[in-house]
Amino acid sequence: MDEYILIFRHEDGKKIASPEQMQKWMKQTMDWIGGITAQNKFSGGNGLPFEDAKVVGYNGVVTNGPFGDIKETIGGYIIIKADSTDEAVEFAKGSPVLQGEGNTVEVRKIAKRDGVH
Partner 1 sequence: MTSEELIPHLFRTEFTKITAVLCKLFGIEHIQVAEDIAGETFLLALETWSYKGAPENPVAWLYAVAKNKAKNILKRNQTFSKKIQPQLKNSVVTSSEIEIDLSEKNITDSQLQMLFAVCHPSISAEAQISLALRILCGFGIEEIANAFLSNKETINKRLYRAKEKLHHEKVQIEFPSEKEIDKRLDNVLTTLYLLFNEGYYSESSDNILREDLCLEAMRLTYLLIENEQTNLPRVNALLSLMCFHASRFAARKNENGEVVLYQDQDEKLWNAELISKGIFFINKASQGKIISKYHLEASIAYWHTIKADTKEKWESILLLYNQLLQIEYSPVAALNRTFALSKVYGKQEAIKEAEKLQLTNNHYYYTLLGELYKDINNTKAKQYFEAAYSLAKTQTDKRTIKKKIAGL
Given the complex with partner 1, which of 21 and 39 has the nearer CB atom?
39
**Least Å distance between CB 33 and partner 1?**
7
Q: Which residues make up the interface to partner 1 (CB under 8 A)?
A: 27, 30-31, 33-35, 37-40, 42
Taking phi over 0 as left and psi of -120 to 50 as alpha, with beta for the rest, 19 belongs to: alpha
Distance (Å, rounded) from C-alpha 107 to C-alpha 5?
6
**Least Å distance between CB 40 and partner 1?**
5
What is the amino acid identity at position 19?
P
CB 9 within 8 A of CB 75: yes
Given the complex with partner 1, which of 31 and 111 has the nearer CB atom?
31
**Least Å distance between CB 98 and partner 1?**
17
